[in-house]
């Protein structure tokens, strides 16, 4: 044991402290778990924070119905292994209930998650949602607090955030309001991959390089060819070796060209990439400069 912590030990300790503060300050929190890499890191951190006790919160997934099957299977398997409660609420139900109206059947469902998410908060009276968002992902996130306040409409007000000093977090709220807590705010994509490597965490297979049919879009992004995202008229698909850096709704998550089949290889690629995680892989953030900020104000993750 050295006297000072390595950077990953420091980040890990900070995240454990944050998770324990959520448990200490909030009456009815929940942890958002999608089966993606960031939320898998959160689960390991929760184990380190609370074992040998049980998690003081259930796991919650907002299922768009447009997720890769490997990821959903992985989600269920992991929750089962941990012996923790998993709550799944689905956009299909929100659509059936008329809470969400799609403009077209093929429209990206990413943005609509906010409705189902806030309805879930209401249903279970959650006073805090723990998420795996990181400040290095996007510039609206770079400004967000670790304990981020949401009003009774689930909205974030970036101009009126609570000051956050030292590690003295303030999760006090009035009924109907809630807190979003982000334990890995200070982690970068590289930190996440290094941690996954160090901890030997298992991941859904699509995070590793594999052959896939894709269409190279004009901006350079890769469109994965699926039943939801067929080859656009006039375009030609190719097979290439790709991996996903982020895993979400099929209609808006793109793979990147890669031959990295191991965690060590992914760490190296991540260290040298010129393109940010969202820049390379999100087909929706690029629609407008402030699209993430706009979605967050509406209650998005």
Binding site for other proteins (CB under 8 A): 1, 3-14, 16-17, 20-21, 23-24, 47-54, 135-136, 139, 142-143, 158-159, 161-168, 170, 172-174, 185-186, 188, 190-191, 194, 198, 267-269, 271-274, 289-290
Q: Which is nearer to other proteins, 18 or 250 (CB)?
A: 18
To other proteins, the closest distance from the beta carbon of 280 in angstroms equals: 14
To other proteins, the closest distance from the beta carbon of 64 in angstroms equals: 28
How is residue 296 written in tokens? 């967050």
**128-130 and 29-32: which strand pairing?**
parallel
Q: Which is nearer to other proteins, 3 or 227 (CB)?
A: 3
Q: Is residue 189 within 8 Å of 134, Cβ to Cβ?
A: yes
Q: Which is nearer to other proteins, 13 or 77 (CB)?
A: 13
Question: Which residue is listed with tokens 């896939």?
Answer: 212
How is residue 163 written in tokens? 């000051």
To other proteins, the closest distance from the beta carbon of 262 in angstroms equals: 14
Buried (b) or exposed (e) across 158-174, using 16+ Cβ within 10 A? Answer: eeeeeeeeeeebebebe
CA proximity to 90, closest of 79, 100, 82 = 100
To other proteins, the closest distance from the beta carbon of 205 in angstroms equals: 24
Q: What is the CA radius of gyration of the chain?
A: 19
To other proteins, the closest distance from the beta carbon of 94 in angstroms equals: 30
Euclidean distance between the first and final Cα of the chain, in Å? 37
**59-63 and 29-32: which strand pairing?**
parallel
To other proteins, the closest distance from the beta carbon of 208 in angstroms equals: 18
Beta bridge partners of 213: 239
Q: Which is nearer to other proteins, 13 or 287 (CB)?
A: 13
Q: Which is nearer to other proteins, 219 or 234 (CB)?
A: 219
Q: Is residue 274 within 8 Å of 245, Cβ to Cβ?
A: no
Distance, CA of 129 to CA of 181 (rounded, Å): 6
Q: Which is nearer to other proteins, 269 or 285 (CB)?
A: 269
To other proteins, the closest distance from the beta carbon of 272 in angstroms equals: 4
Buried (b) or exposed (e) across 62-79, using 16+ Cβ within 10 A? Answer: bbbebbbeebbebbeebb
To other proteins, the closest distance from the beta carbon of 10 in angstroms equals: 4
Q: Which is nearer to other proteins, 34 or 194 (CB)?
A: 194
Cα of 28 vs its chain's centroid, Å: 21
Q: Which is nearer to other proteins, 107 or 152 (CB)?
A: 152
DSSP line for 173-196: --TT-EEEE-TTTT--HHHHHHHH
């Amino acid at each position: 044991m050295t006297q000072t912590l390595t950077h990953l030990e420091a980040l890990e300790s900070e995240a454990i402290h944050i998770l324990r503060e959520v448990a200490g300050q909030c009456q009815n929190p929940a942890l958002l778990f999608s089966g993606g890499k960031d939320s898998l890191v959160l689960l390991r951190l929760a184990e380190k924070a609370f074992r040998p006790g049980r998690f003081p919160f259930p796991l919650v997934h907002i299922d768009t119905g447009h997720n890769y099957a490997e990821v959903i299977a992985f989600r269920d398997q992991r929750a089962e292994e941990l012996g923790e409660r998993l709550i799944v609420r689905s956009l299909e139900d929100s659509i059936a209930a008329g809470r969400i109206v799609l403009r077209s059947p093929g429209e990206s469902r990413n943005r609509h998650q906010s409705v189902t998410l806030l309805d879930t908060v209401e249903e279970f009276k959650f006073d805090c949602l723990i998420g795996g968002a990181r400040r290095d992902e996007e510039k609206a996130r770079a400004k967000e607090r670790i304990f981020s306040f949401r009003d009774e409409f689930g909205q974030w007000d970036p101009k009126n955030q609570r000051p956050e000093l030292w590690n003295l977090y303030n999760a006090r709220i009035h009924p109907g309001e809630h807190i979003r807590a982000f334990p890995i705010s200070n982690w970068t994509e590289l930190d996440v991959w290094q941690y996954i490597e160090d901890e030997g965490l298992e991941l859904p297979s699509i995070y590793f390089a594999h052959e896939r049919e894709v269409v190279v879009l004009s901006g350079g992004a890769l469109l994965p060819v699926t039943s939801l995202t067929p080859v656009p008229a006039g375009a030609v698909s190719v097979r290439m070796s790709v991996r996903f850096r982020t895993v979400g709704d099929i209609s808006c998550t793109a793979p990147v060209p890669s031959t990295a089949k191991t965690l060590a290889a992914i760490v190296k690629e991540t260290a040298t990439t010129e393109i940010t995680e969202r820049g390379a892989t999100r087909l929706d953030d690029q629609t407008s400069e402030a699209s993430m900020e706009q979605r967050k104000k509406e209650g998005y993750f």
